Structure 1
Amino acid sequence: MKEFLPIAAVVVDCIIGDPRSSCHPVVMIGKLIAVLEQKLLCPRAAQALQIMAGGLLVVLVLIIVYSILWYVVGFFATLPSAVAFWLEACLLAFVITPNSLAKAGREIGEYLSAGNLSEARYKVGWIVGRDTDKLNVAEITRATVETIAENIVDGIIAPLFYYFIGGVPLAFLYRAVNTMDSMIGYRNDKYLYFGRIAARVDDMFNYIPARLTGVLLVFASWILNYDAAGAAKTVLRDAHRHPSPNSGIPEAATAGALGIRLGGLNYYGGVASFRAYMGNGPGPLRPMHITRSINLMYASTLIFLGLCLVLQFIKQ
């Protein structure tokens, strides 16, 4: 029965979604990181000391999160098997985000289709870090598609990958790694040294899942009758141009599959930042590309779940 737990988690996520609550486990991980940052970050310290302090934060967060989840899952094991199964499925659902990604993408697409640019800019600002107040339809679409593509790794495949390796505790440990990177893994004055280890650990944990996702997106493109050959070609040609060693793979695969071009000029706090182009689509992005990126997300997720289910039965 345990082999069906990831499928149950995806079902739970699709039905319930990602509840906004201060008691959400990922929110609590964020609070833990914030408390430790307050204790350990000293901007006036030497660079080496900042790196060591940031490394200590990473070690403490991972030990605390993994230990708590190990004990929680151990407690679940003392309960009736059906109860334990659904409790673990609910826990795993907390660290995957297909429902949230799809809901956000569809909502933005609907505002764009209705010509409501102001609301679309506001909503896309919830899921991207760039300035959104002057974005046009194509730029809002690009921001949304890029975020969905990148989060296929961070929000779905990677946590499920680590679940299959080490159960719910390891899936939560991955989510802690990803949360640390999103909070302190920036190359700015404040976090350049303190967040360096968090960023490197995130790169390491995403290395295999990102490349696995690239392969999954090619197969998903083929199943959906998108451009599978274009997806594979764009990954091989363009993924390395992304500043992240991992994020370029799902973005390039999505660009190739949909026949669009991602990347370009973004603004962060009014400061221009150019992201290398991926793909060479002939025309501007439109809201339908958001829908197609969501289709790719769900198809790649189902392929991965099916593959892991087969492997589990083979192991038995």
Structure 2
Amino acid sequence: MELFTLLYILPVAFILDLVLGDPQYSHHPIRYMGKAVETLEPSFRKWASEWRLPLSARLSISGILFAISLILCAYGFALMLMTIARMINPVMGTVVEILLIYSCISARSLEDAAAEVYEVFKQKKLQETKKKLALIVGRDVERLSEDGITRATVETVAENLVDGVISPLFFAAVGGAPLAIAYKMINTLDSMVGYKNETYKDFGKAAARIDDIVNFIPARLSIPVISLAAQILSGRGADALKTAIREGRHHSSPNAGYPEAAFAGTLEVRLGGPNYYHGNFVSKPYIGTEFGEANIRHIRKACDLMMLSSFLWLLVLVIAQFSLLIAL
């Protein structure tokens, strides 16, 4: 991708996300990714069943091949689509790249999903609130208290700031739409097979590890961005930074704890803690241990923090690209 083009492709893709959100249509690239994972998983498992290896080894190796194959296919398909479009017309190539990157960003849909939880929660419709929440979190929602509902919402906003904005824009800036699409395939694989249960503990291990690796840098880059947004919104930038550095590692995920801790420090709220997942009790440490319980107001504040952090991250990337262009 040419640097001059980069200067406006990322902002236009981001603006499209803010204006249009995440349209629910059958030809969305992420839907195709999910369908590919769902369709090809049985084939790779069947293929592995023919190998003369221990079951765990068979599943682990087939899981590696499964993940790598889908990631490379996603990258190759995006690259092919852009190449064909550019051969027809350079402007068409640019439009295709913008649309592909736009499909990888989910700031608007994340805010909308959290806002839906907020609106029904505000009306004290607890069961409806839990139904809305179940659409965006992996934990069991039926056991959650009001504090638990708010914590879950704030945590998913914080974590998905990285998954849905920071990382896609980062990889789009580094390698254009093909790399952003490859990242979303990694993210999709992790969300569908990256579990530690009996079904996926071996087969999904590669997908989960790859997701951890690719999010390692973006998750940590999110700390100063969130801290700057916190300083602008509430003057709590130093608290966000300190909490992220001190408690970001107190999470089962090597990455999710950092944005969550930065949010905890900004909002002065305790996040994390034990929860039930698929009926199983999972003990987790709290993040932001010195802060109090969450309440409904924290949901709106978390959304504001997420959106401003997204704007600031986009600005950082555009400035970095412009600086590189000037240097060259």
State whether TM-score is above 0.5. yes
Q: Within 5 A, what are the aligned runs for 1:1-316?
A: 2=5, 3-41=7-45, 46-280=55-289, 282-316=291-325
Query: 1:313 & 1:217 partners in 2: Cα distance?
Result: 22
Query: 2:283 & 2:88 partners in 1: Cα distance?
Result: 53
Cα contact 1:260–1:279 (8 A) shared by 2: yes
Shift, 1:282, TM fit:
4.0
In structure 2, runs of 5+ residues without a counterpart are none
- Alignment root-mean-square deviation, CA: 1.6
SS of the residue 1:257 aligns to: helix
User: Greater shift after overlay, 274-283 or 153-162?
Assistant: 274-283
Shift, 1:82, TM fit:
4.5
SS of the residue 2:200 aligns to: coil
Number of residues paired by the alignment?
316
Shift, 1:81, TM fit:
4.7
| 1:99-143 deviation digits (Å, cap 9, x = unpaired) | 110001111111111111111111000001111123232111110
Moved over 6 A (4+): none
Shift, 1:186, TM fit:
0.7
User: Greater shift after overlay, 280-289 or 263-272?
Assistant: 280-289
Shift, 1:85, TM fit:
3.1
Shift, 1:91, TM fit:
1.6
Amino acid at match of 1:9: A
Query: 2:33 & 2:235 partners in 1: Cα distance?
Result: 38
Query: 1:226 & 1:284 partners in 2: Cα distance?
Result: 21
Cα contact 2:100–2:177 (8 A) shared by 1: yes
Shift, 1:253, TM fit:
0.6
Query: 2:156 & 2:97 partners in 1: Cα distance?
Result: 28
Shift, 1:225, TM fit:
2.0
Query: 2:44 & 2:94 partners in 1: Cα distance?
Result: 38
User: Greater shift after overlay, 247-256 or 12-21?
Assistant: 12-21
Shift, 1:217, TM fit:
0.7
% identity of equivalent residues: 37
Query: 1:70 & 1:231 partners in 2: Cα distance?
Result: 39
Query: 1:117 & 1:30 partners in 2: Cα distance?
Result: 31
